[in-house]
Structure 1
Amino acid sequence: MAFGSRAAGKHRGSSRLSRKTAGYAGIAAVVTTGVVGSLAGPAFAADQAAPSLEDTGLNTIVVAEELADEIEAQAHSQQRAAEAAAAKAQAEAEARQRAAEAKRVAEARAQEEREAAERAAREEERKRLNTFVAPIEDSYVSTQWHAGGGMWSSGSHTGIDFHAASGTTVHAVGVGTVVEAGWGGAYGNNVVIKHMDGTYTQYGHLSSLSVSVGQQVAAGQQIGLSGSTGNSSGPHLHFEARTGADYGSDIDPLAYLRRHGVSV
């Protein structure tokens, strides 16, 4: 039985595998020798056309190169982004560091200013507490301490007298608290002040009073007006310095004032 098999002959076409093999061989020859014409044999040229780009595999090379370029570009882009992010982070860190340093400096300066203000306040308070003045401005001592005579019941003067016309302003010599304000017998209208160092001062023969018991007074504050009340021969201020509030604890008034910086 005949199956219609095709007889072999010179016009039978090459198989696809054979064409690819021949095409690859031709491309290799081109790469090796650089001579394209020497690769095309007469029988091969007559049998089929030149191989396509797909058959030669060149498209695979081109795609691979393009992919490599894209990967490299992406890598460069990522590197630039990473470098930019690192630079930003560094700048932010430096900015935070500068801000922290500026804050530290500001806090240190503020602390120094507070301490300076506190020192100034303490110094001002110290000066206030330790500042003493004369009880009468632009006056002089007319009778000395411990002067003798029959005018004083103790036989001697327990204070000093400052010359003053009636109605002259009388000042507290220093910071203190009024412990007596009113009639004091032979002293007439008088004021007694206890000072911060525990000493006392007395102001006698006043015509009027400007303070009351328990009142806090400052150095130079008006406490009354001079006069001639009580056992007095004329207007003046009787001033005493004492170690206690009561009569008989008197100390040298001039030495007391001068020890506290008062020029009299």
Structure 2
Amino acid sequence: MAFTRAPGKHRRPSRMQRGTARAAGVAALTTTGVVGSLAAPALAAEPAAAQTGLTPVVTLGDSVAERIDAQAAAQHEAAREAAEAAARKAAEEAAREKAAKAAEEARAEKVRAAREAERKRLNTFVSPIPGSYVSTSYQAGSSLWSSGSHTGVDFHAASGTPVQSVGIGTVVEAGWGGSYGNQVVIKMNDGTYTQYGHLSSIGVSVGQQVAAGQQIGLSGATGNVTGAHLHFEARTTAEYGSDLDPVAYLRAHGVGL
């Protein structure tokens, strides 16, 4: 008795049937050229990175590479310009500091020079009559002096010879001084006093500031004298009896006699 399939129902094809159908389909596609056009791309496609585990390498185009190179060059140039600007700034700052230091040193040197000049000026002493000499020494004995000895020295000088202050000071006496005749007494810058006697004329007044070498009068023969000359004394005070050795005093201040 023969069996047939019920109409309208299908059974799953057997393995052999499926293989036969697949082979027939491929043959048909190959004949029409469809297989060739579809298979080629599928076969040419590369496996994805996730499937292979490899890191893909991206190849950049020339325009992108050029842009990167240009950017790198610009950054390099900017860095070079920044470095040059920093170097210029440092050099300018160093130059300013050097100039400021030089200016400060110049000011300090100017101050030192001024102080030294002032020190020399204050400590400059001269002879009361340049080119003259001591004709009567200090503490020489004679009945001409009330104390019995000479309290100063006499400088040889004709009447009318200019007499100058031996150093910087202030005039404390200017006028008649008894046996000293016309006299000038000056308080010196170092606190000592000098006296100039027997003057024929006086050229300064009390309170006046005088400098070393400044003329204060003219020599003469006023007071208790035997002839024209300059009587010069160095004292610790303005008063008579506080005398110092005038020659030693002048030599101690750099005056050669």
Instruction: Report SS of the residue matched to 2:250.
Output: helix
Name the counterpart of 1:216: 209
Deviation per residue, 1:225-258 (Å, 9 max, x gap): 1111122221110000000011111111111111
- Corresponding letter in the other structure for 1:105: K
Whether 2:85 is the aligned partner of 1:92: answer: yes
3-state DSSP class of the match of 1:256? Answer: helix
1:155 maps to amino acid: G
Q: Tell me, which stretches of 5 or more residues in structure 1 are unaligned?
A: 1-17, 32-63
The 5 A counterparts of 1:39-118 are 68-118=61-111
Q: Does 1:249 align with 2:235?
A: no
Counterpart in the other structure of 1:198:
191
User: Which residue of structure 2 lines up, in the alignment, with residue 151 of structure 1?
Assistant: 144
1:25 lines up with 2:40 in the alignment: yes
Q: Which runs of 5+ in 2 are unaligned?
A: 1-32, 46-57
Name the structure 2 match of 1:172: 165
Report the CA distance between 1:120 and its aligned residue.
Answer: 1.6
Q: Equivalent residue for 1:139?
A: 132
TM-score (norm 2): 0.76
The runs of at least 4 aligned residues of structure 1 exceeding 6 Å deviation read 26-29
Query: Aligned pairs, how many?
Result: 213
Q: Render the CA deviation track for 1:106-139: whole Å, top value 9, x for unaligned.
A: 1222222222222222211111111111101111
| C-alpha displacement of 1:28 | 7.5
Q: Give per-residue Cα distances to partners, 1:65-108, cap 9 Å, x unaligned.
A: 8x843332222222111111111110000001111111111122
Distance 1:252 1:68 in 2: 109
TM-score by length of 1: 0.74
**Identity fraction in percent:** 61
Deviation at 1:23, TM superposition (A): 7.8
Does the residue aligned with 2:221 lie in a helix, a strand or coil? Answer: coil
2:215 maps to a residue whose letter is Q
Distance in 1 separating the partners of 2:176 and 2:157: 20
Structure 2 distance, partners of 1:91, 1:85, is: 10
CA distance in 2, matches of 1:83, 1:99: 24
Q: 1:207 aligns with which of 183, 192, 200?
A: 200
- The code of the aligned residue for 1:188 comes to G
User: Which residue pairs with 2:50 in the alignment?
Assistant: none
The AA in structure 2 aligned to 1:22 is S
Q: Structure 1 residues 222, 24: closer, same or farther in 2, change over 3 A? A: farther
Work out the CA distance in 2 between the residues paired with 1:122 and 1:86.
53
Is 1:126 the counterpart of 2:111 in the alignment? no
Task: Give me the whole-angstrom Cα distance separating, in 2, the residues matched to 1:76 and 1:210.
Answer: 95
2:200 maps to 1:185: no
Superposition CA RMSD, Å: 2.5
